[in-house]
Amino acid sequence: MTLGLTHFLVLSTLLFCLGLFAMLTRRNAVAILMGVELMLNAANINLVAFNKYVAPGALNGQVFALVVITLAACEAGVGLALVMSAYRNLETVHVDEINVMKW
Amino acid sequence: MVNWPLEIVRAVLLTAAVFTFMAVVAAMFGVLLERKVGGWIQSRLGPKHVGPQGLLQTVADTIKLLQKEHIEPRAADRAIFNTAPLVVAVAGLMSWVVIPFGTLGDRVLVVRDLNIGVVFFAAMASLTVVGILAGGFASNNKYALLGGLRSASQMISYELPLAMALIAVAMEAGTLSTVGIVEAQAGWFGSFAFRQFPAFVIFLIAATAEVNRVPFDLPEAESELVAGYFSEYTGMRFALFQLGEYGEMFAMAAMATTLFLGGWKGPVLPGVVWFLLKMYLIVFLLMWVRWTYPRYRLDQLLNLSWKVLLPAGLVWILITGYRVTF
Amino acid sequence: MRELAWLIPVLPLVACALIFAFGPRLPGRGAYVAIAGIGLAALLSIGIFVEGLGGAKAHELNVRWVPYGQTALDLGLRVDNLTTVMLLVVTIVGSMIFVYSVGYMHDDPRFSRFFAYLSLFAASMLLLVLANNLLFLYAGWELVGLCSYLLIGFYFEKPSAARASMKAFVTTRVGDLFMFLGILLVFFTLGTFRFEEIFAKVHAGALEGMMVGGLPLLTVVAVLLFGGAIGKSAQVPLHTWLPDAMEGPTPVSALIHAATMVAAGVYMVARTYLLFFESPGHGALTVVAWIGAVTALMAATIAVVQDDIKRVLAYSTISQLGYMMLGLGMLGYAAGMFHLMTHAFFKALLFLGAGSVIHAMHTNDIKAMGGLARAMPSTYWTFLIGTLALAGVPPFAGFWSKDEILLEAFHHHRGLYAMALAAAFLTAFYMFRVIFYTFAGTTRSHHAHPHESPAVMTRPLWVLAVFSAGIGLVGAPFLGNPFHHYLHFEGLKAPAFSWGVALAGVGASGAGIAAAAAVYHWKVVPSGALRRAAGPLFTLVAHKYYFDELYAAAVVRPTLAVARALRTFDVYVIDLIVNLFGFAGLGLARLYRVFDLYVVDGAVNLLGWIAQTAGGVLRYVQTGRAQNYLLAIALGVIVLLAAGLFR
Amino acid sequence: MGQLAAFIILSVVTLVSAVVVVASQNIVRSALSLIPTLLGIAGVYILLQAEYVAGIQVLIYAGAITVLILFVIMLTEHGTGARFRQVNEQVLPGTIAVAVLAALLMAVFFGTAWPRAAGTLPQYTATSIGTTFLTSAILVFIVTSFVLLVALMGAIVIARRER
């Protein structure tokens, strides 16, 4: 059994679902962000793997993986800034406690 | 196709060799050299009694450290506490993977000539931060935590100018491979220390800050924070931190040599000798600075990075890009 | 300089706007602004007049205003010799009166407003004078009427003043109606308002042979236009408003009811003189002449029995306006205009002098005055000069102009000449009656302490006195009658100067003065005996020929009666119908209200309740927690995937 | 065969530390075990002949983002955060949903015959990636730069202490 596309897809699926699980269940906003990072990485694995196994002629998959990494950095920066701001104003980072706008 | 088992065996062997060299020769000699240089600069003798001219002082210190009890604070997070020094040491030593030492016949003496060598180097340098932060946190000691946070913010800040300098050099050389960069420098004035002088300066400053040395050693400012992030570490783990730090410092010096001073190249003498000469020149420079200058304040330090080095690096990249393209 | 003529009405208008906007905060509480406006206009007028002396051509300025079918209505100004003379009169007399008013109105709480009105009046009068078409002449005409209304009623808290202003407005409106009809007739027959085009077409015989109700159209038009002049210039039978208009402040009387506004009628006749001239057999001119003569004589007789100094002057004004009309009607175009000019100066002078006297005595009754000559020398001397000018004593201004009119009358109609001569005699008589009562003898009022008026009032008097004395010389025959050369109607030649007529006129004046002196100074014949001897004639005159009573009986009362009847109809019939509709609407509305409350509102409330309840239930779905929504999304993805897989 | 072994080792490292990331009550451990996860993924990239992406992965993710996350955790959660309940009431439905989703996705992946275009990956990818970025993906490059700039400013504005 040689290494094939499916291996990577399985890995990325599991990673993605773990990230989704974190997003669904964690209360801490930072933990949710980590879940997002996992999901983004899963997507990146897919991008690079498809690039190699489906369209090796061009490097678009890797290029997009790099773009995703960049955007992940942006997302982490802005997201963590929001977390800091929320913590400063509401003294909690638990998303179910940030509910001042709720009815 | 890469032959994986062979590759793994090679990697293990080479790593062992490099570790041995680093741990035994470079780090120990480095510590000794540091103390001797410090002594000379301060008009005193330095270590003198162990071995001839105190040459065995570091060996004695190492033996002492190995014998010491390993203390683990009760409130510490044990797993992280024990892993953190390893991360620092391993990351510091991993930097050496891409350093070419010299030539042996037609072969270049380098662990792996990665085609992303420069990026790899930067990545490893940035990994050290995690170890320091984890160590500072896991100690469950406010001085350690503050030292860790300071150290991390400083290192993150200085990674950017460092990367700028690396990018400028890679642009001029047209490759990310360290061997390729050395090959791109020919002759005395072909070295990037001349052609990339601003990048050289930025690299040296950023490297000094990156390895937490004076005048950027606030994370371990004894007068404020006891000993910074390794306040709680004892024995061999403390030694590992020191090893990682010295390994990192030497790696920076080696990288400076590779990127800016033409690596192993030089007349008459063999390449390895030239390489070591240049590397120790840089190391001596770093020590000289350490024993001469006072410490920066935190805000001055961050301002220097974000308001001076980073814009300067960006501008220099622009200029380099113009020069390379046109 | 004639291109700048448009500035002349604009300057006082700007002054008016400024005073209305900023009022007492302006320098001199607004007076200086007003004086600056009229003064600059006067300077411009003088410049234009000097240009006219140099023989400058008539100048027209036309600005397209409203396109009207084939033709267009133009905003037009015309500067010709007639205009320049009027401009001079209006602006110079006007500026004197403005200056005088600073002193006269000094303590009035509505000082600034007074000057705003004055400026507005000056602007409208100048617009009237400068208009090059009937439409704008009419606009200025009505604006002047409006200002007259505002100024007569300036002391509107006095019921008599309010009534007088109303009377003036309504009476002149009667004349204006005729004038408006005349203007419309001109426009519908000739298709233009512009004087030049009208004259050209009439001259070419455009209206020749056209008849209206058995009369030649041109005559009808001219008489209709003259109707406006009758109203504005207070000719019989619409003269009754002018004496009442004396309720206004004295400078207003001087400005409006002596010098300028009332002259507008005369000016209008002169402006459209060609229409009168061309009417078959000079029919229209004959009407003008007769009305003028009757007015001159009748007003003069009434003036003799008036005791109120301003009313004497008012009737004198009416009489003199009659003179002007007579002059125009007797083909004395230049004579009429000449008299208009001289009269403006000396009548303004007289009114201002009277104002000075009133200012000092706080009464209008000449019988309560006396001996003021010593107390108020400036007023006395200037008033005397004005009186001599009015009486027609050579060489003062009135003599020259009156003599020309008498000359024209003598040449054209002896009957009218006789009436004019009689009027001249009466004029001298009543004016010297005033002099003797007011200035001669000793004061009859014991609680009055007369004093000379301030310089700001006497200086204009002196300026006007100089004009009154000297202006007549521009029409002196032995100087070659330069006025006649400057202003004359094409095709009319003034009759040669006649020593006989002149001596007759001077004789009539002298006789009047002598008679007045005999009755009121030397008291050869006591005035009471004279009054008794006249008997019913005196009663008739004292009641002003019963004109007011006649109007009251013939017009006012029937109108009021009809109005009352209509009111009754309104209140009991129309209002009843309206109220019925109202009640019907109200009843329907009540019905609708019930429907609204219980059916429409019920439906709306039901919907609202449904929405509220549904929202109340559904809001539990809206947790506000993104993780719940994310789970829902994940489940949705699962469902979609499953649907895709197990299709 | 060696490749497969390497893949399995890397996958195990990645997934095990990812599970720690997701499940650990100690939020600091979560963040720290993100590092092996990311390093493992970097290894997977090397297996996929994407060395440059791998280097960037280590540099940006492991070196920068993780440190940032650690920073924020240390500043906000009073240390490990072990005093707080770290999961909400959705654990059970979340677990079931995620499991079902994973199963369905794998079913999709296994059941799909992926096409394969001609061509080989270039040996030295950094240059090619740079070329791609500056030619066909220039718009993406520019937009990404702007997003980065805006995010930088936004983060500063949001995190700045008022007054």
pLDDT at B107 over 90: no
CB contact under 8 A, D88 and C627: yes
Q: What is the pLDDT of residues C528-562, one digit of tens each?
A: 787 788 778 888 887 888 888 888 888 888 888 99
Domain-embedded: residue D105: no
User: How far from the centroid of its chain's Cα atoms is residue A32's Cα?
Assistant: 9
User: Is B31 a residue whose pLDDT tops 60?
Assistant: yes
D3 interaction partners in chain B (CB closer than 8 Å): 2, 4
Binary contact (D76, A83; C-beta < 8 A): yes
Touching chains, D (3+ CB pairs < 8 A)? A, B, C
| Domain residue limits, chain B | 71-325
Kindly state whether residues D11 and D74 are assigned to the same domain.
Answer: yes
Q: Are residues D71 and D131 in the same domain?
A: no
* CATH number for A21: 1.10.287.3510
In this prediction, residue C566 carries a pLDDT of 92
Band of residue B273 on the pLDDT scale cut at 50, 70, 90:
confident
Q: Let me know if residue D140 belongs to a domain.
A: yes
Nearest CB to B120; choose among D3, D28, D55: D55
Over residues C475-502, the pLDDT tens digits come to 887 777 788 888 888 777 777 788 888 8
For residues C238 and C175, is the Cβ–Cβ distance under 8 A? Answer: yes
Say whether D70 and B79 touch across the interface (CB within 8 A): no
How far is it, in rounded angstroms, from Cα C158 to Cα C150?
Answer: 13
A 10 A CB-CB count for C334 gives: 25
Contact D159 A53 (CB under 8 A): no
Report pLDDT for D142.
92
Confidence of residue A13 (pLDDT cuts 50, 70, 90): very high
How far is D104 from chain A, CA to nearest CA, in Å? 10
Residues with Cβ within 8 Å of residue A48, at least 6 apart in sequence: A61, A62, A65, D44, D45, D48, D50, D53
Q: Indicate yes or no: CB of C627 within 8 angstroms of CB of A23.
A: yes
pLDDT score at C586: 93
Extract the tokens encoding C136. Answer: 């704008």
Collect all residues of chain D within an 8 Å Cβ-Cβ radius of residue A98. none
B317 shares contact with chain D (CB less than 8 Å): no
DSSP string of C45-93, one letter each residue: HHHHHHHHHTTPPPEEEEEEEEEETTEEEEEEEEE-HHHHHHHHHHHHH
D51·B127 Cβ contact <8 A: no
Neighboring chains of A (3 or more beta-carbon pairs < 8 A):
C, D
C624 touches chain A (CB under 8 A): yes
Q: Please check whether residues D65 and D132 belong to one and the same domain.
A: no
Q: Would the CB atoms of D29 and B79 count as touching at under 8 Å? A: yes
Which of C343, C333, C337 is closest to C85 using CA atoms?
C337
Range of the domain at A66: 5-90
Chain centroid, CA C266 distance in Å: 12
Q: What are the chain B neighbours of D32 within 8 Å (beta carbons)? A: 80, 130, 134
What is the ipTM, given to two decimal places? 0.79
Q: Check if C620 contacts A (Cβ < 8 Å).
A: no
CB contact under 8 A, A21 and D75: no
In whole angstroms, give the CA distance from residue D101 to residue C637: 8
Q: What is the 3 state secondary structure string of chain B?
A: CCCHHHHHHHHHHHHHHHHHHHHHHHHHHHHHHHHHHHHHHCCCCCCCCCCHHHCCHHHHHHHHHHHCCCCCCCCCCHHHHHHHHHHHHHHHHHHHHHCCCEEECCEEECCCCCCCHHHHHHHHHHHHHHHHHHHHHHCCCHHHHHHHHHHHHHHHHHHHHHHHHHHHHHHHHCCCCHHHHHHHCCCCCCCHHHHCHHHHHHHHHHHHHHCCCCCCCHHHCHHHHCCHHHCCCCHHHHHHHHHHHHHHHHHHHHHHHHHHCCCCCCCCCCHHHHHHHHHHHHHHHHHHHHHHCCCCCHHHHHHHHHHHHHHHHHHHHHHHHHHHHC
Note whether D100 contacts C: Cβ–Cβ < 8 A. yes
The pLDDT tens digits of the residues spanning C233-277 come to: 888 888 888 888 888 888 888 877 777 788 888 999 888 888 888
Q: What is the pLDDT of residues C303-350, one digit of tens each?
A: 888 888 888 889 999 999 998 999 888 888 888 888 988 998 888 889
Q: Could you say which of D88, D97, D107 has the minimum Cβ distance to residue C635?
A: D97
Which amino acid is it at C387? T
Summarised one tens digit per residue, pLDDT across range C135-177 is 888 989 999 999 989 988 888 888 888 888 988 888 888 889 9
Q: How far is CA B72 from CA B99, B222, B238, D70, in A?
A: 36, 21, 12, 22
Per-residue pLDDT at C447: 65
CB C387 within 8 A of CB C432: yes
Say whether B119 and D35 touch across the interface (CB within 8 A).
no
A95 touches chain C (CB under 8 A): yes
| b/e per residue C195-207 (b: at least 16 CB within 10 A) | beebbebbeeeeb
**CA pair distance C406, C417, nearest whole angstrom:** 6
Does D7 contact A at CB distance below 8 Å?
yes
pLDDT of residue B23: 61
pLDDT tier, C218 (very low <50, low <70, confident <90, very high otherwise): confident
Residues of D in contact with B325 (CB under 8 A): none
Length of chain A: 103
* Lowest-confidence region among C59-63, C295-299, C385-389: C59-63
Residue D75 within any structural domain of the chain? yes
Residues with Cβ within 8 Å of residue B237, at least 6 apart in sequence: B70, B82, B85
For D80, the closest chain A residue by CA position comes to: A28
- Report the neighbours of C using a cutoff of 3 or more CB pairs below 8 angstroms: A, D
For chain D, the domain total comes to: 2
* Total count of domains within chain A: 1
Q: Pick the more confident residue, C149 or B262.
A: C149
Residue C124 near residue C138 (C-beta atoms within 8 A): no
Mean pLDDT across chain D: 84
The predicted pLDDT at position B3 comes to 66
What per-residue confidence (pLDDT) applies to B54? 75
Quick one: tokens of B256?
A: 């400076």
Least confident among B28-42, C300-314, D73-87: D73-87
**Cβ contacts (< 8 Å) between D71 and chain B: which residues?**
133, 149, 152-153
Q: Is the pLDDT of residue C77 over 60?
A: yes
Taking CA atoms, what residue in B is nearest to D125? B115
Domain assignment of residue D47, given as a range: 1-82
The pLDDT assigned to A102 comes to: 67
Nearest-by-CA chain D residue for A96:
D88
Tokens representing residue B38 in the block = 């410090």
Which tokens belong to C439? Answer: 């200035």
Chain D hits for C631, CB-CB cut-off 8 Å, are: 90, 93-94, 97
- SS3 assignment, position C248: coil
Cis preceding linkage at C237, omega within 30? yes
Residues of C in contact with D90 (CB under 8 A): 627-628, 631
Q: What sign results for the dihedral spanned by CA atoms B46, B47, B49, B51?
A: negative
Preceding peptide of C395 cis, ω within 30°: yes
CB contact under 8 A, A23 and C622: no
Instruction: Dump pLDDT digits (tens) for C587-609.
Output: 999 998 999 888 888 899 999 99
Residue of B nearest to D3 (CA): B4
List the beta bridge partners of residue C194: C133
CB contact under 8 A, D7 and A54: no
Model confidence at C584, pLDDT cuts 50, 70, 90, reads very high
| Chain C interface disruption, residue of D89, D98, D104, most C CBs within 10 A | D104
Please report whether residue D101 resides in a domain. no
CATH code, D41: 1.20.120.1200
The residue written with tokens 């009054």 in the block is C531
Average pLDDT over residues B117-133: 84
How close, in Å, is residue D83 to chain B by CA atoms? 14
Whether A12 maps to a domain, the answer reads yes
**Looking at residue C438, what is its pLDDT?**
85
Report yes or no on A57 lying in a domain: yes
From D58's Cα to the closest Cα of chain B, the distance in A is 6
D75 and D135 share one domain: no
